[in-house]
Structure 1
């Protein structure tokens, strides 16, 4: 009989604190599984049971709180999913649930004995599946962040024009808003910055509003619906997909609105390819897709750095971006930072 099964039979020291401590020990024995990985595993278990995607993803804070002591109640459904995600068998998971239910029954009986006149039926705890995972950012903070993202797009346009760069840098703010806040926040930022491009001295940004919108939707839904922010490989792939989509939208705009030449630094490459005998459409798309790939990869790096800083400073949820959570936990080793580590001293 396992320790969890033995405790399920009821012992004198059984409590929610004891369950939480045992849960911590189980996590340690499973190899210190990160809370982001736990969320991913629990989500996979729930999806296998046929639960809708939107309801299958638990809040990372809810999973984290299950391991804390000092609790007055515990969600048995979430508890069962956690121990299963940590490698327990179905029978062992059922034993954990029995422990939790027994502690709850003992606590209820004790409460009735102590205050019988105030004993009233307590509402059932809200299942974790019904807990929303919306960002806790206030409306004002969200608005300020979006304004900052618009400013980043305009700054990118200005820097590109002043230094004649062969990249665009006009969607950094769009990407941050889409990935941090949501795809339609990114769309709003993209529309605003495209229509304010004249402030940087470039009146030709308005026709490229559709490019910003397309990039915002692919980035935003990519990390949320398709889990493209789970690791670095997937996120780089998402950046490449955004580059391809943006080029597919931008090239027709360049041909129709500007005849293929809009004054960007990449025009020289287009002319060189045309001089080699390639058609204008092929030359334009070839140049644009290469430039877009470089631009979106640079943008992706900036987004990761910005999201890590925002998460550390404002605790913005990163449940849809496990990659950011892992990056946020990284620390510079003392010996690499020029500080001699006490552990290494003999």
Structure 2
């Protein structure tokens, strides 16, 4: 890893139709790392990726990717990056090997070089057994692995992954996590946007949370959890009346409220004194709380603390934002 960052952005601003989507985004991504950008719907994640990958121009600010200015050196930036969107973009009518060879030829490789590169990537992404089959016969997880393999044909320094595991089942998602982790060991820098907070927690060296067009927090997953959430006390209430009373009492301090299961969660420093104080506050007569459990905070707790609501399965970026 060198001192020069793989990605550096300062003061990025962007508006669409009078709506300010980015209001001064600053980012710095170390080479050979995984960087995750999180944020609620419309926070500006996809716009940030589009600016950094030269697909749109910022209204203000500067950015460098792989050592090149995204405005002055757009062609050089594009030669050194790859962008993989939310949906696989491979050709269903060709085999996996044919897709890879075609991408190699489009990247300027000779026929022999393209074939060698395709064979190497089939091995790297565990696709040798399906490489001669048409992509139309692939499962969703296998298609995503092939899509990621095609994005690496040109040996990019930086790869942008925009929600790469959307729509995959848990087993396929785990497989993709293994592949993405392997990319970093080969020296590639990964810039990841994701709706799965567990994904960022598992993969990212650093995480930035963007909200309202600004970066509101940045750090390693462990740092963010310690700084903004620390511990979480989960309470199961005895009945609906007790649940409603506890939610009203705690107000915004309740980081989760699940009426269906009569459960809520509240942040705590984890000390016995603070846990006792919370239990006494919520249940002074020892009848309202049926059981409780203390947990380490998750990135979901951080997300809620910073943006005001929990991330959901539909927490996706809207088009153009």
Q: Same fold (TM over 0.5)?
A: no
TM-score (norm 2): 0.29
Q: Which has the larger radius of gyration?
A: 1
Bigger RCO of structures 1 and 2 (CA < 8 A, at least 6 apart): 2
Report which of the two has the higher share of strand.
2
